[in-house]
Amino acid sequence: MPSTRTWFITGASRGLGRAFAEAALDAGDRVVAAARNVDPLAGLAEKYPQALLPLTLDVSDRGAVFEAVDRAAAAFDGLDIVVNNAGGMLYGMVEEATEKQIRDHLDVNFFGAVWVSQAVLPHLRARGSGRLLQVTSMGSGGGMATVGFYGAGKAALDSVSEALAMEVEQFGVKVTIVQMGGYSTGLFTAGTTQTAPGPAYAELRARMEAMWGDETGPEASTAAPAIMKLVALPDPPQRLILGDKSFDYVLEMDQARAEQYRASESLSRMAPG
């Protein structure tokens, strides 16, 4: 990988994407910052006029993704690090969500990441190296009420990315699934679509809202140092839980799931296969 690396970051106008872009620029790298609205990047573009390329992009548009990636690679003579960060939240119960809400959500959170992965791989493969960071969630290992479709999209991306890692390792491309903890990114405000609340779920909704609380989590910038260290590793992990509290919580969830399996082990072993 060259000393001055080129990043392609989706969802780069705010939150984690913006934090990763700023960290890369501060390190002397070049960044293609893709977002639906690049206006918030104006100040950053003035600060780094030669190193930052803001690029308007809707990742749910597959054709636009391929065009944007080709333009990015041409602008900086290739790509080195790709961060699939664009995403949003669909908040509400499974029964409440409309077909359009579900499809729109997965078009960005899952299919958008797939389109970007497909578009960048020929460039990374030609280079014989590269890093692909798939930003998912600490909660992608299981579903939870009110955020079921968010977890579903992230879980699907987890699974596809594991397959992708096996497929592209032979070309020198490393894939890391970055399972993010709860950072202050605006995901639950500007990035959220809400279902129409159904009265049947009023009690559960109130319990879930009380559980989520009002805490916004650490600033997105606090996650950037770990990402910078991750992309510098010669042999990066295939999965990374990002956040100290999140790490402990995921281990607890995995242990609880293992105990659930053990509780019904005799039933499982009744069937051959």
What CA–CA distance (Å, rounded) separates 248 from 36? 34
**Strand ranges, E, within 81-224:** 81-84, 89-91, 130-137, 173-180, 192-194
Which tokens is 170 given?
């032979």
The answer to whether residues 129 and 1 touch, using CB atoms and an 8 Å cutoff, is: yes
Closest CA to 10 of 160, 171, 132: 132
The answer to whether residues 101 and 193 touch, using CB atoms and an 8 Å cutoff, is: yes
Phi-psi region of 19 (alpha: psi -120 to 50; beta: other; left: phi over 0): alpha
Query: Does an H or E element contain 68, and which?
Result: helix 62-75
Read out DSSP for 33-51? EEES--GGGHHHHHHSTTT
Query: What's the burial of 118, exposed, middle or buried (CB within 10 Å: 0-12/13-18/19+)?
Result: middle
Residue 133, beta-bridge partner list: 83, 176
Would you please indicate which residues are annotated as catalytic (active-site) residues?
150
